[in-house]
Amino acid sequence: MKVLVAMSGGVDSSVAAALVAEAGHEVAGVTLKLWGGESDTGCCSVADVEDARRVAAQLGIDHHVLNLTEEFDHFVVDPYVAAHAAGTTPNPCVECNRHLKFGMLFDVADRLGFDMVATGHHARIATVGDEAVLQRGADANKDQSYVVGMLQAEHLKRVLFPVGVMEKSEVRAIATERGLRTASKAESQDVCFIERSKGRRNFLSTRLTLTPAAIVDQDSGTVVGEVEALELITVGQRQGLGVDSDGNRRVAVTIDRSRPAVVVTTPEQAQVTSLRLDPSTWTFAVPTAELNGDSLRVQLRSHAPSVEARVFPDHLELSKAIDPIAAGQLCVMFDASDTTVIASAVIA
């Protein structure tokens, strides 16, 4: 079998490539050059490309670099900036996976005649009947099923997640045993096109005119403070919004571009029991009848625990109140055991 391995220059994708090669498959590695600007984090630096190339050389497999900087700008960076400008909260890693790390990668695999695509994501593929399904990774602390939860059934039939069945410590041990140069490499955790040394404000200020805004109390309608940039505030945020007269930290519940204002309230009053979904963004990892009140587990942030909810085509009814979730975030729905992905949709 011919397998194209996406190699980011990190330890997970390095071990994924090693395991696929050792299984006797015909393997080639490909590194996606995504961000064309300066980077001191993430998986897009020149050093990361070089690490991937040298690991491929260690493994004796071909390595290719695919320049997708224009596509990355179009599908990830431009929508990221536009979302901040509109007062919503983008999810760039999910969109990168959707359009580039899987969407365009499968196109490349097809053109080059590869049967399967492998990545270093901590998620698992299982077979239920004749269908491939997406499941949580074995290491609960590293599980990435949320960020790949938008994969369609046709993708799941052609993807391999070799490290998804392992604890992270096992992955590093395998890399060490094989002498891979990425064995002790630190993980990338930040948005790759935001320089850690400069931050999100600096990045957006070169692409947007940042807007000062009032902080307005939801109940009284009075102005209780101000923020320097409305574009840097997200629904659910507490940092930088001060406290009320009772010492409660204020929580952003509405980003109002028209005023402009950040509407705030107390943590208790901010909680929600339902969320609207954008019907146009539904994906079904497993072909299924339209969900209409089914009780599922839903995960609403990449590192948040799931909660029980009744799922309808255009909204969720949560079993308990939770902190507000910003529009633009992904909702990934799991079965009752909280193991298998059923579907996903974007929060509206």
Output the domain CATH number for residue 33: 3.40.50.620
pTM score: 0.90
| 170 and 67 within one domain | yes
Q: With respect to residue 90, please indicate whether it lies within any of the assigned structural domains.
A: yes
| Containing structural domain, residue 113 | 2-121+161-177
| 89 and 10 within one domain | yes
CA–CA dist 6, 43 (Å, integer): 12
Amino acid identity of 250? R
Domain end position, chosen among 251, 270, 289: 270
CA–CA dist 206, 204 (Å, integer): 5
| 24 and 170 within one domain | yes
Q: With respect to residue 222, please indicate whether it lies within any of the assigned structural domains.
A: yes
Q: With respect to residue 19, please indicate whether it lies within any of the assigned structural domains.
A: yes
| 167 and 65 within one domain | yes
Q: Which of 43, 93, 96, 331 is catalytic?
A: 96
Domain end position, chosen among 242, 270, 298: 270
| 231 and 165 within one domain | no
Q: With respect to residue 81, please indicate whether it lies within any of the assigned structural domains.
A: yes
Q: Establish whether the linkage from the previous residue to 260 is cis, with ω within 30° of 0.
A: yes
| 166 and 59 within one domain | yes
Q: With respect to residue 240, please indicate whether it lies within any of the assigned structural domains.
A: yes
Q: What is the pLDDT of residue 36?
A: 78
CATH number, domain of 264, equals 2.30.30
| 166 and 24 within one domain | yes
Domain end position, chosen among 233, 254, 270: 270
| Count: domains in the chain | 2
| 107 and 238 within one domain | no
Amino acid identity of 269? Q
| 88 and 44 within one domain | yes
In order of 230, 286, 308, 344, the CA distances from 125 in angstroms are 41, 12, 23, 16
Q: Which pLDDT tens digits describe the chain residue by residue (348 residues)? A: 999 999 999 999 999 999 999 999 999 999 998 887 776 565 556 788 899 999 999 999 999 999 999 999 999 999 999 999 988 888 898 889 888 888 889 999 999 999 999 999 999 999 888 889 999 999 999 999 999 999 988 889 999 999 999 999 999 999 999 999 999 988 876 688 888 778 899 999 999 999 999 999 999 999 999 999 999 999 999 999 999 888 889 999 999 999 999 999 999 999 999 999 998 889 876 655 568 889 999 999 988 999 999 999 899 999 999 999 999 899 999 999 999 999 999 999
Q: With respect to residue 12, please indicate whether it lies within any of the assigned structural domains.
A: yes
Q: What is the pLDDT of residue 37?
A: 74
| 235 and 92 within one domain | no
CA–CA dist 290, 345 (Å, integer): 13
96 is annotated as an active-site residue: yes
| 255 and 171 within one domain | no
Q: With respect to residue 305, please indicate whether it lies within any of the assigned structural domains.
A: no
192 is annotated as an active-site residue: yes
| 170 and 25 within one domain | yes
Task: Compute the chain's Rg from CA coordinates.
Answer: 21
Q: Which of 43, 93, 192, 331 is catalytic?
A: 192
